[in-house]
Amino acid sequence: MGELLAVLSGKGGTGKTSVCAALACALAEDGKKVLCIDCDVGLRNLDIALGLSAYEALSFQDVCTGGYTLEEALPHPVFGTLRFLTAPISCTAADVDGGSFQKLLHQARQSFDYVFLDAPAGIEAGFSLAARFADRILLVTGPDPAAVRDAARAGQVLETMGKTSVRLIVNRITRKIGSRLHTTVDDIMDTAGLPLIGVVPEDPQVTLAAARGRPLITSSRKGAAAACRRIACRLQGIPQPIPRRGF
């Protein structure tokens, strides 16, 4: 039985989608069967981070409504065990039928080791859609005060939903930002009120890989790519140190 992971953020600009794509690719690189579902209805861009923008993909709504099967989800041209469903553009998150979506996820559990739900930023309908059915939640924040405060708020909302397996990823960190803000990763954890599963440094390769139409994981073995590989190991229960120095 596969695991459902919702990747969320309290605000935009945290790099949530890039982290989601990198984790999915890292797990596929390890031979895991992975399905990525873009839940950001209306503002979908997970395909770009996965290096799939040049391909036509079915939406999860196409499968939910019965017109297509899960087996027809777009296969990744590089990672053979990774498949992708994009978000629909002809409806809103509030229009998605929860029962049909739950049925899709139940089917996905039977075929994949990991199912990633990339939710829109914020705590609106798309956030709830992804979080509702997730086994584990990865909450991505940047180091700036607004992002951390919004992550704390998102954590509170998840708590009211009964979600207990929530882990924090601090993304886009640099020494300069840390020194100017007079903050540390531990400070961010304390403010957000959540346990940490990983830190990811600011890395120009993230933008360059997307511009070239390539997944980050195939473009680099350092920086953000290496950090996401370590987080992917932790998701599998493989211990990895979490570096806090340099921030």
Token pair, residue 214, equals 């390539």
* Alpha-carbon span 47 to 44, nearest angstrom: 8
Overall residue count recorded for the chain in this entry:
247
Contact predicate 25/215, CB 8 Å:
yes
Cα dihedral sign, 117-120-123-129: negative
Tens digit of each residue's pLDDT (9 = 90 or more) over 76-131: 999 999 999 999 987 777 788 889 999 999 999 999 999 999 998 888 888 898 99
Q: pTM of the predicted model, to two decimals?
A: 0.94
Burial of residue 134, with CB atoms counted within 10 A of its CB: 0-12 exposed, 13-18 middle, 19 or more buried: buried
pLDDT, tens digit only, all 247 positions of the chain:
899 999 999 988 999 999 999 999 999 999 999 999 999 887 789 999 999 999 999 999 999 988 899 999 999 999 999 999 999 987 777 788 889 999 999 999 999 999 999 998 888 888 898 999 999 999 999 999 999 999 999 999 999 999 999 999 999 998 766 566 667 888 899 999 999 999 999 999 999 999 999 999 999 889 999 999 999 999 999 999 887 544 4
